[in-house]
Structure 1
Amino acid sequence: MVVTPLSLMTPISAIGPEQGSFRIIVPTFDPNLQKFNVGSAVQKLDQSIVLSNFVTAFPTTNLDC
């Protein structure tokens, strides 16, 4: 995850996440100034993207989905 501009980084292979899952590595940010939700999303037929399930991201943590 990249905070500015808000985006996902290019995927990399890593040891740790379960097979078939993906890991979001949350960078350092000030949670008093910014709030982020992270999780899984779906792309609709009209190409819009909707988070289908999510949790609040905490700085410098990993989220395995």
Structure 2
Amino acid sequence: AFMNGPKITVHGNAQDACGNTLNEGLIVVHGCAGDLTGHSMRGGKIFIRDGVGYRVGIHMKEYQKKKP
């Protein structure tokens, strides 16, 4: 998700690193998400219905006025 302000809806499972470096926007996963979900994200929101892999949210950062 190298975009500013997207709204992405996944009807199923999401791959590894879903939301990698997300700056703002929304990702909704109606299933499971892989490893490193939300890796290095600086803002925005991720909602996942089922389980996730390992190292979720690692390196999330506050950036100026944005908080993940």
- Please indicate the TM-score interval, normalised by the length of the shorter structure: under 0.3
Q: Which has the larger radius of gyration?
A: 1
> Which structure is higher in RCO with an 8 Å CA cutoff and minimum separation 6?
1
TM-score (norm 2): 0.22
TM-score (norm 1): 0.22
